[in-house]
Every structure is written in C-alpha cells, then in structure tokens.
Structure 1
Amino acid sequence: MDDSVCEGKTSSEQSNLIAQPMRKDHINLLHRPTMFKLFTKNPIAKLDKSYKAKLEQAMTAQRNGDIKRYSQLSDEAENIRKEIDTLEILQKK
C-alpha cells in the first residue's frame, strides 16, 4: 500500500483501507463503454475476409493447374474457418 495513504493512520485504519471491498458502482476498467465499440474491430469479420481471400487464391491456383499450391491454400482456408467457428462458439457463451 502507498505510504502516503497510510501515513498518520493507526494499524486498524490501515487494515480497513486494504480490506475494503470494491463498490458496485466502481468503474470496471476492462469494460468499454458502448460508444467506443464502434471503433473496435470484429475479429470474426477480419477472419472471414481472410478466409474468402484464401479461397479465391486457391481457386486461381487450381485454374492455373498448380494443384500443390491449391491444396496448401485450401488447407490454410480450412484452418481459418476453424478459427472462425471457435470464435463464434465463444461469442455465444
């Protein structure tokens, strides 16, 4: 505890300062006000955009006859899809 806060206090007063429970109206620093949610990025939307781009790259590789590249890109797209599914499940909870 900061010495300036406890200075001149008895030991029982000092312990009361330390043991005080958090008030219900205390501002939660982890909670963002609704107003600022406008500026936060949606990770699912970002991953979905990446997923669609990978699928398009895979389609282009397949059309050009590069099957090895096609399967690599398809695998990457599938991994991104799994991440999206996981995030969607977590958001529902």
Structure 2
Amino acid sequence: MALSEESFLPDAEDCAETWRQLRWPDGPEQVECGSSDVAVRTTEYRDHLYRQECEECGRWFTDRSETFIENANVGLPVWVYVT
C-alpha cells in the first residue's frame, strides 16, 4: 500500500470546524471592523472553509483572512498535521 495524503492527513471538514472554534470561540467576527454581525455562507469556499459577509460594513472575509495561512497554497489539513 502506497502512502497518500489521505492516509495520514486529518479530515478537512474536521480541521475547518476546529479552526473556526479556535479562531472564534464566540462566533465569527469581521477581521477589519470587529463586528460579530456576520452572515455565514455555508457554501464551501475552500477546504471546507466558509466565506462570511459583514452585515455592518459589507466586507467579505473567509475563515483564513488575516491569518498566517491566508495566502498559503497548502490546504488546512496539511497545516493541522504539521502543527
């Protein structure tokens, strides 16, 4: 049996939920204005991460916005595995 990403990486959906809980224990907040009045778009954006829209300022952001993995070309399961 050959090793593949699926054989050792955590499930992407579980990683995304854990990421959201660690980042926003009280629910998502817009990263620039700090508002917690956001509309979560549950349609998957990338690696089971979501896009949100701030109801106050109208800006869009993702679960990865303003983090060290925002522009990474590596998926969230790889980051969870490495850390």
Question: Could you say which structure has the greater relative contact order, defined with CA pairs below 8 angstroms and 6 or more residues apart?
Answer: 2
Larger proportion of strand: 2
Larger proportion of helix: 1
Is this a same-fold pair by TM over 0.5? Answer: no
Using the size of structure 2 for normalisation, the TM-score is 0.27
